[in-house]
Copies of this chain bind each other. A is one copy, B any other.
């Protein structure tokens, strides 16, 4: 590893270069810099020196050529909803805000794919798709940009059935650190043509290049959708249910665990009256007969493990309310603890070890005296503690970090990962070596080969 990166002065010459090229598409104003200096997490704001609002791949390329010329860092920015400090400008430099690049470039209905710009958000994409009979399933809590979701290898509640961003990204347009534009992948459903650059860039968190366009796999809207909820006497009964559902090969579209604290928070936030018990939320997709058969099989399993009333909802309105509530869980929790920010954990373990991992989590929460509602994408073995921390209380943050660290150590010991879907950013950079050992040196070699000056989102994934 070379000498540690230093923050460079952003000179008047640099400023003039950006102003000349980008006019009012570039901002140096403090509120704009601050707004771009952190995502939605507890990490302290780290301001860039400038923010460029790009409208095209060409804009991104031009901005990157300038950064390359001046050897200053580049930080990609979509909606700023990341949770591990991905957008924080640790060494200053130029943030490239692609949120204005929000167009759908093509929809190929017959092939179930589309091409979008990186700044388009997942909810807008689905609104635009509605009339086509297609939909895009990946749904992290936030209404994130597709580019940001690709960059962090995001997933969400549908991953148990439809996979993660690694599964639905067919190809990318990438601007390399020197400004050159390349395309990866293609529209064919499969290919063995050379190294899988698409999946190298998916999850690379802006450290190898900037994603400006994404070719996405889409899915037909299911003919029938059934939702269900089921409260359980305790978390382990709920997890045993989830485990057996997965092992039985029932292709649930969604299977989410919400703890009693989270239910309480969301009841208040979304004006619901769900039983304040550990609860599984389900969704089933298929033909009417097949969705019904799935729901019946799951209902039987839930009852077997002590589920206390498996309730179906086929009406669109009830379903939407239920899932909107599930998606607002993080905000509901923050609202329930005013003045607090979330330190969100994201471990993922083999499903056979999930009950163990969640028991250990509950012990850690008690031991370190923190408040931490739990939600889990339990079909994938992935769960989140939203540890509520007062950002001005260092002792509190320290206790929360102790929980988070032990949780990761436990997950790795169980054969799991430190992050199922949020990414490494700089918040989890310390865990990567523990998880991947010598693989981290391979990652560093790839980084050095593709970003020889080390300017791409420095300090994320790989130590700068």
Contacts and interface: CB of A to CB of B under 8 A. Distances in A.
Contacts of A192: 152-154, 203, 346, 417, 419-424
Given A176-B442, A197-B439, A247-B112, A188 B348 contact: yes
Given A182-B438, A187-B416, A290-B290, A352 B110 contact: yes
Contacts of A159: 190
A359 interface: no
B351 A189 contact: yes
A248 interface: yes
Contact of A350 (B113, B164, B416, B419): B113
Contacts of A183: 436-437, 439
B197 A203 contact: no
A189 B352 contact: no
Contacts of A438: 180-182
A246 to B, nearest CB: 7
The winner among A181, A199, A219, A442 for most chain B CB atoms within 10 A is A442
A189 B381 contact: yes
Interface in A143-182: 152-155, 159, 164, 166-167, 176, 180-182
A335 interface: no
A346 to B, nearest CB: 8
Contacts of A194: 203, 424, 432, 435-436, 439-440, 443, 461
A221 to B, nearest CB: 9
A243 B110 contact: yes
Contacts of A155: 190
Contact of A196 (B166, B189, B287): B166
A420 B190 CA distance: 5
A446 interface: yes
A181 B187 CA distance: 35
A27 interface: no
Contact of A418 (B181, B193, B200): B193
A142 to B, nearest CB: 15
Interface residues of A, number: 89
Contact of A351 (B111, B219, B416): B111
A194 B425 CA distance: 9
Interface string A373-398: 00000001110000000000000000
The winner among A113, A249, A380, A418 for most chain B CB atoms within 10 A is A249
A112 B112 CA distance: 29
A303 to B, nearest CB: 19
The winner among A202, A203, A243, A432 for most chain B CB atoms within 10 A is A203
Contact of A450 (B113, B424, B442): B442
A435 B195 CA distance: 12
A432 B186 CA distance: 13
A191 interface: yes
A339 interface: no
22 contacts: A112-B247, A153-B191, A159-B190, A180-B438, A183-B436, A188-B349, A188-B380, A189-B350, A190-B382, A191-B420, A192-B346, A192-B422, A193-B418, A193-B435, A194-B435, A194-B440, A194-B443, A195-B204, A195-B443, A196-B200, A197-B443, A446-B450
Interface of A: 108, 110-113, 152-155, 159, 164, 166-167, 176, 180-184, 186-197, 199-200, 202-204, 208, 219-220, 222, 243, 246-249, 286-287, 289-290, 293, 297, 346, 348-352, 380-382, 415-424, 428, 431-432, 435-443, 445-450, 461
A-B residue pairs, 6 tightest by C-beta: A449-B449, A110-B352, A191-B417, A220-B249, A199-B199, A182-B438
